[in-house]
């Protein structure tokens, strides 16, 4: 399939398109109607190229995927990962993930972590189908602009009811 390699400045245009699609997909999952522009995505990519381990997945001359890693000590986290829309469902995600796991193992590590939005059931299923297991963590966020935050959460196929208690 493809190969995973460090991103280069020459990847910026194609990478910006992938990153724009990635963030807009996640914004839609969160019912955020404010879409990211290609110019905003390009700025993000420029920052990533300067500061973070950023890898691209290429097949021939085509950049079809990317992954941004975070390393904390001996632990690697997938911060962002995406495959170009036209290449999804063809095994490229699995290929990228396998290449990434090899990348991490070559650096002496034996595990890789990823956080997924609860609404992104396709990603959760993808990771589970590729051997990832659910840890004992749920990340919570309170939107301080809303008076009554939602008290329902669905994660890993389970429904949670949350009680927000205040000391007023």
DSSP 31-89: T---PPPHHHHHHHHHHHHHHS-EEEEEETTEEEEEEEEEEETTEEEEEEEEE-GGGTT
Task: Give the pLDDT of residue 39.
Answer: 94
The candidate with the shortest Cα–Cα distance to 25, out of 121, 155, 142, 133, is 121
> For each of the chain's 168 residues, which pLDDT tens digit applies?
789 999 998 999 999 999 999 888 888 887 888 899 999 999 999 998 888 779 999 999 899 999 999 988 888 999 999 999 889 889 999 999 999 999 999 999 988 999 888 888 888 899 999 999 888 666 666 778 766 556 666 666 666 666 555 554
Distance CA 78, CA 97 (A): 10
Domains of the chain and any CATH numbers? 3-139 (3.40.630.30)
Q: Retrieve residue 105's tokens.
A: 């193992």
Q: Retrieve residue 8's tokens.
A: 């280069």
Cβ(96)–Cβ(2) below 8 Å: yes
Task: Give the pLDDT of residue 156.
Answer: 60
Cβ atoms within 10 Å of 38's Cβ, excluding its own: 13
Distance CA 36, CA 39 (A): 8
Q: What is the pTM of this model?
A: 0.76
């Amino acid at each position: 399939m493809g190969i995973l390699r460090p991103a280069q400045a020459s990847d910026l245009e194609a990478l910006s398109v992938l990153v724009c699609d990635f963030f807009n997909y996640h914004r839609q999952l969160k019912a955020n109607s404010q879409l990211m522009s290609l110019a905003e995505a390009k700025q993000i990519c420029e920052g990533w190229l300067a500061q973070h381990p950023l890898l691209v997945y290429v097949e021939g001359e085509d950049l079809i995927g990317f992954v941004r890693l975070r390393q904390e000590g001996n632990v690697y986290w997938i911060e962002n990962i995406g495959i170009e829309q036209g290449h999804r469902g063809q095994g490229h995600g699995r290929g990228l993930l396998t290449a990434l796991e090899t990348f991490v193992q070559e650096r002496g590590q034996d595990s890789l972590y990823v956080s997924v939005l609860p609404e992104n059931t396709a990603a959760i299923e993808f990771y589970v189908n590729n051997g990832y297991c659910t840890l004992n963590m749920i990340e919570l966020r309170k939107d301080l602009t809303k008076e009554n935050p939602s008290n329902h959460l669905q994660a890993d196929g389970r429904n949670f009811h949350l009680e927000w208690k205040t000391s007023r």
